[in-house]
Structure 1
Amino acid sequence: MSDTEILRASAINGLHKVLSFKQPFAWLITNGYLTVDDRTWGTTYRGPILIHASKGLYDVYYDYLKANTDIPLPAKEEFAYGGVVGVADLVLCSRPDALPERTSRQHRAQFKGVNSRHYGFLFERPRPVPFMPCAGKLGIFEVEIDALLSAPPAAQAELF
């Protein structure tokens, strides 16, 4: 199945859920280096979710990761910004002290970095998709998958 077919198949009534992240977090999630992201709010949604790279970059986190890890991060100017860069399955949203009994030891360990007042979003099966320009929003939002897939390529999107 092609990326397009997978995205269409995982949409519900032609709509796909999307969550925005600043870089390098969008890249880290899409490429499987970050499996839990924390937010001040929770959600009951579970299922496929598009990973949107906002137009922002957390320079401090990027510089820290470059200096202290062996993660092969692209250069700052090589990141994609302002569009969908990947898809993953959102399988759990929980505060660290309220994890379900069935949560694996590995996943419990990943929640240790989540602030006790925040919710950890656990992502599985992340995979990059070809960049699709798209405006971001706060929270989980929906996009019409056919409109997203028919958006002009990134180089052309700047003309419109």
Structure 2
Amino acid sequence: MKALSVRQPWAWAIIYALKNVENRGWPIHYRGDILIHAAKTCTKKDYQLAREFCQGMGVVIPELISLRRGQVIGIVTIVDCKFSQVASSWGMAGQYHWKLENPREITPIPYIGRLGIFEVPDDLVMEVIAL
């Protein structure tokens, strides 16, 4: 199964706060389910900027220390991808907007992420499905 590493608190927002756009500098042609991996890296500065942005959206995110990192935390469905020069609620101008639907929480599974889209071994996928 495919997976994507996303820095916190954005990974949390995809699964728990209905963040329905992932902003990337590159398009994706894949459509379907993808695992959301919460990356290990998150600086206090990046967290604070994200927290302020989310508050402007009416979303209160958990404290940095309580956010899971270095774990697969959920599954979401990629349904579309379009380049946009215009900002939207979760979308940034000048980025590809990956349209996300159907976020599902899973029991977190420790895993080492990678850059870009990556494949997760079948045994991990079976563990995710079994939970």
TM-score band by shorter chain is 0.7 to 0.9
Say whether 1:141 aligns with 2:129: no
The percentage of aligned residue pairs carrying the same residue is: 32
* Partner SS state of residue 137, structure 1: coil
Q: Deviations over 1:51-108 (max 9, x none)?
A: 00001222232341465454231111110000100100000111026xxxxxxxxxx9
- Aligned-pair RMSD on alpha carbons? 2.4
Structure 1 residue 125 displacement after superposition: 0.3
Q: 1-side partners of 2:41 and 2:116: how far apart?
A: 16
Task: Tell me the amino acid that sits aligned with residue 121 of structure 1.
Answer: W
Q: 2-side partners of 1:56 and 1:149: how far apart?
A: 26
User: Partner of 1:59 in structure 2?
Assistant: 47
Query: 1:68 and 1:79, CA in 2 relative to 1: closer, same or farther beyond 3 A?
Result: same
Structure 1 residue 145 displacement after superposition: 3.2
Structure with the larger helix share:
1
Query: 1:115 and 1:69, CA in 2 relative to 1: closer, same or farther beyond 3 A?
Result: closer
| Matched positions, count | 124
* Partner SS state of residue 19, structure 2: coil
Say whether 1:35 aligns with 2:35: no
Length-normalised TM-score, structure 2? 0.81
* Partner SS state of residue 6, structure 2: strand
Q: 1-side partners of 2:61 and 2:100: how far apart?
A: 19
Task: Tell me the amino acid that sits aligned with residue 40 of structure 2.
Answer: K
User: In 1, are the aligned partners of 2:51 and 2:61 still within 8 Å (CA)?
Assistant: no
Query: 1:67 and 1:145, CA in 2 relative to 1: closer, same or farther beyond 3 A?
Result: same
Q: Which moved more, 1:51-60 or 1:121-130?
A: 51-60
Structure 1 residue 33 displacement after superposition: 2.9
Length-normalised TM-score, structure 1? 0.68
Which of 72, 93, 98 aligns to 1:115? It is 93
Structure 1 residue 43 displacement after superposition: 1.2
User: In 1, are the aligned partners of 2:27 and 2:81 still within 8 Å (CA)?
Assistant: yes
Q: Deviations over 1:113-134 (max 9, x none)?
A: 3323x21111000011110011
Structure 1 unaligned residues grouped into runs of 5+: 1-15, 98-107, 152-160
Larger radius of gyration: 1
Q: 1-side partners of 2:56 and 2:123: how far apart?
A: 41
Q: What aligned pairs does 1:48-127 form with structure 2 within 5 A after superposition?
A: 48-57=33-42, 58-65=46-53, 68-96=56-84, 109-110=88-89, 113-116=91-94, 118-127=95-104
